[in-house]
Amino acid sequence: MVQAPQRTAVSGPALIRLLARLTDVDVAESSQSLSDRLSQWLGWTDAIALSTALNGNPPAVAAAPRANGHAEESECARVRTALANAIAGDSVFAAARRRGPAQAPPQRAPAEAAIDYAVFRQRYLSQQQAMETAIGNLRGRLRGMLAAMTPAMTRLAVVDAVMERALSERERSLLAAVPGLLAGHFARLRQTEQDTLADAQASGDAAPVTPGAWLDVFRRDMQSVLLAELDVRLQPVEGLLAALRTR
């Protein structure tokens, strides 16, 4: 028996592992170090700005009084929860209520057969825009808190600002490709169910799956990818928050 080739297990963030599992893209582990990859993404103006931030004297900023409690922690948690709830509660990703396989006819529901992936692509892009805006604002506020502490923290805030400017366009371009990767998953799930139902109808057997169940599977998968992307986007915020905890 011919064995299908096994795909290499992928390490890294949950977003990468999910996309590797849901798509036909074979992701190879990079042989480059993180610093080497970053150097390819930074232009010469970015490199100069980063060098200046690391080696120059940080701008003098009036020291801010220590805040009581953990206001910044609460704000980060609030933003994360709001974005996660927006993804989980999105009506486009809500599973439809269906009859069981025994009562369902062995053919596609017309609305599900004709549904256009563009609806999901547009909603994914809208969720990405909401994440980018909310997290960008939060990241700026945390930098402001850091800059009002010590010279070392001010330098860290400046470095983070430089890195955000330098890498934001690359990040936006890479993440904007995710909906395109999921389009193939959408088409494969729909085609697999169509073939399964057609075979059952041709043989006169009861439908082995509930018609339209593929769409609920896809909706859950898209939600999972969005939540994994949210974790990736929040990583710089987590770094700034960790620095604030050391004050």
Predicted structure pTM score? 0.81
Highest-scoring range by mean pLDDT, 38-42, 156-160, 229-233: 229-233
- Per-residue pLDDT of 50-81, as tens digits, reads 777 777 766 655 555 555 447 889 999 999 99
> How many separate domains does the chain show?
1
Which tokens hold the place of 201?
Answer: 């109808």
The DSSP secondary-structure symbol of 104 reads S
The pLDDT score that the predictor gives to residue 187 is: 94
The pLDDT score that the predictor gives to residue 102 is: 45
**What are the backbone dihedrals phi and psi of residue 66, each rounded to the nearest 5 degrees, phi first?**
-65, 130
- Per-residue pLDDT of 166-206, as tens digits, reads 888 889 999 999 999 999 999 999 999 999 888 888 887 77
* 104 pLDDT above the threshold of 50: no
Tell me if 153 is assigned to some domain: no
Q: Containing domain of residue 89, as a range?
A: 68-93+116-137+167-233
Tell me if 9 is assigned to some domain: no
Tell me if 226 is assigned to some domain: yes
Tell me if 227 is assigned to some domain: yes
**Positive/negative CA dihedral, 123, 124, 128, 129:** negative
Tell me if 150 is assigned to some domain: no
For residue 25, give the amino acid letter: V
* 105 pLDDT above the threshold of 60: no
Q: For 212-241, give one letter per residue: b (16+ CB within 10 A) or e.
A: bbbbbebbebbbebbbbbbebbbebbeebb
Tell me if 55 is assigned to some domain: no
% of the chain surpassing 70 pLDDT: 74
DSSP per position, 49-94: HHHHHHHSPPPP-PPPPPPSS-HHHHHHHHHHHHHHHHHHT-GGGP
For the beta carbon of residue 158, count every other beta carbon within 10 angstroms: 21
Q: How confident is the model at residue 3 (pLDDT cuts 50, 70, 90)?
A: very low
Tell me if 78 is assigned to some domain: yes
Which tokens hold the place of 188?
Answer: 């494969």
Contact 225, 180 (CB under 8 A): no
- Per-residue pLDDT of 6-25, as tens digits, reads 455 555 789 999 999 998 76
- Per-residue pLDDT of 121-148, as tens digits, reads 999 999 999 999 999 999 999 999 998 8
Rounded Cα–Cα distance for residues 9 and 14 (Å)? 12
**What are the backbone dihedrals phi and psi of residue 139, each rounded to the nearest 5 degrees, phi first?**
-60, -40
For the beta carbon of residue 109, count every other beta carbon within 10 angstroms: 15
Tell me if 28 is assigned to some domain: no
